[in-house]
Amino acid sequence: MPNPRSTTRATRSTGAVTLQRVAEHAGVSIATASRVLHGGTRTVGEELRRKVEDAARDLGYVSNAPAQALARSSTSVVGLVVHDIADPYFAAIAAGAMRAAKRHRLMVMIAATFGDPELEIEYVRSLRAQRARAVLLAGSGVADPDLTARLAAELDAFRADGGRVSCIGERGVEPYVPLDHTGGAERAATELWQLGHRRIGVVAGPEGLVTVQRRLAGIRAAWSRLGGELPDRRVVFADFTRSGGREAALGLFAAEPGVTAVLALNDVMAAGVLAAVQDDLGRRVPEEVSVVGFDDVPFAVDLRPSLTTVRLPLEEAGERAVQLIADGASPARQAPLGVALVVRGSTGPVAG
């Protein structure tokens, strides 16, 4: 018998090294092998333990995650749902999440919805099928009752199957990592007011996103508190992209040439605004027009001029989101992550 293999079919030639084989090789039962290789509790004798470990190493054993998942009905993967991983906002969150995931020995599966709420629901469902241990919703939700309800239903089903859920920013899902969009926006608006600006414009992202609504609300709140006016025609909605920002800025100035400062609702859009104002419109920043961004993504400091923006601790938010779903994290109230206005070169006093 030159070949120890006995069973019939193909697939399992010498290929798959299973617990079974390790057990045989070590001369123990598969239960024992399982205990030393996977079981946390040390209830195996020193000698057998060594034998099993040696066998596993010799054979190059690698556990079969799907099999384990099936047997214990739980995996070590967490799903992260973002809009677009190429967007530095989400990339930062993902980086933080992955860092924390590593600490907790979790794998991160990323799904990009490209802004499609239907896809978000579909991905949660898919993650449920994967029996992911948790799903992290990183993107902003949309203010649509139907969509929200359907997502909630899907999340409930996910939880019913034993999964955990957490999200970045408040969106009606518990637990979540609080991000003070409103407060940050208020601060940015206030800064502009203090610089003497009275006629400001807002370059906003998609109108349906609750993040956009929150930031906008913060600006409006601060502005009216200060006694300013912000007519709707000075608020332009567009995609959360560079070109979205550029086009929105162009539209804004076409309609309201007197605007002295513009608040972009994220840094990527701000980059587009800067390009529009300086290159297309030929106005100087900040001498003629001030620009403020939101998020403080890494490249904000390198824009021309460097961008004044509201800093959001994105990486930390990502980390916290996985902490929330890792171990028995208490669903205790989270201290909101600090937002801060980072004043750089794109803002200045209103032209006298």
Partner DNA sequence: CTGTTAGCGCATTCAA
Partner DNA sequence: TTGAATGCGCTAACAG
Return the SS3 of 273: helix
Where along the sequence are the contacts to a second copy (CB under 8 A)?
11, 13-16, 60, 62-67, 69-70, 73, 75, 77, 84-88, 91-92, 94-95, 98-99, 102, 107-112, 125-126, 128-131, 157, 160-162, 242, 271, 274-275, 298-299, 301-305, 315
CA distance linking residue 135 with residue 167, whole number of Å? 8
Phi then psi dihedrals of residue 333, to 5 deg = -60, 130
Binding partner of 1, given DNA, a second copy, none, CB within 5-8 angstroms per partner class: none
Strand order in the sheet with 308-311: 235-237, 200-204, 261-264, 290-295, 308-311, 340-342
Question: Least distance from C-beta 113 to DNA, angstroms?
Answer: 25
The residue range among 10-18, 140-148, 263-271, 333-341 that interacts with DNA, by the rule CB under 7 A, is 10-18
* Distant-in-sequence, close-in-space partners of 2: CB < 8 Å, separation ≥ 6: none
- The smaller minimum CB distance to DNA, of residues 71 and 255, is found at 71
- The smaller minimum CB distance to DNA, of residues 16 and 255, is found at 16
Place of tokens 């214990």: 72
Q: CA dist 290 to 257, 304, 311, Å?
A: 13, 12, 17
Binding partner of 28, given a second copy, DNA, none, CB within 5-8 angstroms per partner class: DNA
What is the DSSP annotation of 197-216?
--SEEEEES-TTBHHHHHHH
The residue range among 57-65, 183-191, 209-217, 232-240 that interacts with DNA, by the rule CB under 7 A, is 57-65
Asked if 55 interacts with DNA (CB under 7 A), we say no
CB 196 within 8 A of CB 189: no
Asked if 47 interacts with DNA (CB under 7 A), we say yes
- The smaller minimum CB distance to a second copy, of residues 11 and 232, is found at 11
CB 103 within 8 A of CB 76: no
Options 5, 14, 43, 279; binder of DNA; rule CB under 7 A: 43
Number of residues that bind DNA (CB under 7 A): 33
Footprint on residues 229-288 left by DNA (CB under 7 A): none
CB 295 within 8 A of CB 270: no
Asked if 42 interacts with DNA (CB under 7 A), we say yes
- The smaller minimum CB distance to DNA, of residues 72 and 105, is found at 72
Footprint on residues 65-124 left by DNA (CB under 7 A): 67-68, 70-73
Which of 288, 285, 274, 283 is CA-nearest to residue 243?
Answer: 274
Give the residues lining the site for DNA (CB under 7 A).
7, 9, 12, 16, 18-20, 28-32, 34-35, 37-39, 42-45, 47-49, 61, 63-64, 67-68, 70-73
